[in-house]
């Protein structure tokens, strides 16, 4: 039976107690390895993925941050890499796409975890059938993972979750992953935490203090990995989370990224 992660934004695998007030994160340090989600973290969410825009100030800051971190900066997103690249014209950053199903390392090499073609084709057919009955739903076929967005039809949330949970019970090797106003099917064993683990085993990330910034349920896997590795985890926006720090919104993320770096991460911050 595929794993099902709740769509409740206040539900996460192992959230810290509600009474725990998370402080803002310390300043980045030059011995950090920085991992950044995109939608809801570097850019405001939009009605459709194609409508998302990256603020020019943030886009210009990323190459500078990468240089100051010795190249140890990667984007970790649910988008396909080809989709994410369109948001950053002229840049070719290290990146994990589709929750780690594909990954571009710091050298530019691509690592791809191919889906099971027959099963994936059946899942695509199921998604198209559901969207045909409800045209307000938006399908995002990423290549290894497929998402169904119901932002334009929030009243269909329960129907989407119940239908997909029931329908993919025999889809061996795949799991359901909830996000903000969407439900996604992705290969088991691949998530943002697995992608960060992969990066941390490679140059120039290895040996650094990992820092991950994200806003959604899909980012909790990344938070779990970074906590295990002794790094910093930063939740953007509201909702229960296992992250130890919090920034209130995308604007606060931008301001934090623009702040001067420290020479070294302090033990107290770890």
Q: What residues act catalytically?
A: 37
Distance CA 256, CA 68 (A): 15
Q: What are the residues whose beta carbons fall under 8 Å from the beta carbon of 212, sequence distance 6 or more?
A: 35, 36, 37, 76, 192, 196, 219, 222, 223, 225, 226, 231, 232, 233, 234
| Residue 153 contacts residue 136 (beta carbons within 8 Å) | yes
Which residue carries 């806003």 as its tokens? 215
Give the DSSP H or E segment for 177.
Answer: strand 174-179
Integer Cα distance of 111 and 94 in angstroms: 11
First-last CA distance in the chain: 37
Alpha-carbon dihedral of residues 138, 140, 145, 148, nearest 10 degrees? -10
Q: Which residues pair with 178 in a beta bridge?
A: 183
User: 126, 119 in Cβ contact below 8 A?
Assistant: no
d(CA 41, CA 166): 32
Q: What angle do CA 6, 8, 12 make, to 5 degrees?
A: 65
Q: Pairing between strand 94-97 and 73-76?
A: parallel
């Amino acid at each position: 039976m595929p794993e099902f992660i709740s769509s409740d934004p206040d539900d996460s695998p192992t959230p810290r107690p509600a009474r725990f007030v998370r402080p803002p994160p310390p300043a980045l340090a030059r011995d950090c390895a920085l991992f950044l989600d995109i939608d809801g973290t570097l850019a405001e969410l939009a009605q459709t993925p194609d409508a998302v825009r990256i603020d020019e100030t943030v886009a210009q800051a990323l190459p500078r941050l990468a240089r100051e971190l010795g190249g140890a900066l990667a984007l970790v997103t649910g988008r396909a890499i080809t989709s994410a690249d369109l948001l950053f014209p002229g840049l070719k950053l290290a990146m994990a796409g589709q929750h780690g199903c594909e990954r571009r390392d710091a050298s530019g090499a691509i690592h791809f975890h191919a889906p099971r073609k027959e099963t994936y084709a059946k899942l695509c057919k199921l998604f198209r059938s559901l969207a045909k009955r409800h045209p307000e739903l938006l399908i995002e076929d990423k290549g290894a993972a497929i998402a169904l967005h119901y932002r334009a039809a929030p009243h269909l949330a329960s129907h989407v979750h119940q239908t997909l949970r029931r329908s993919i019970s025999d889809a061996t090797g795949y799991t359901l992953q909830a996000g903000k106003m969407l439900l996604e099917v992705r290969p088991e064993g691949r998530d943002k935490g697995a992608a960060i683990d992969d990066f941390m085993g490679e140059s120039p990330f290895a040996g650094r203090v990992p820092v991950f910034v994200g806003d959604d349920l899909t980012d909790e896997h990344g938070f779990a990995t970074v906590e295990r590795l002794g790094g910093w985890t930063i939740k953007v926006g509201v909702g229960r989370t296992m992250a130890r720090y919090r920034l209130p919104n995308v604007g606060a993320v931008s301001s934090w990224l623009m702040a001067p770096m420290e020479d070294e991460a302090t033990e107290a911050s770890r």
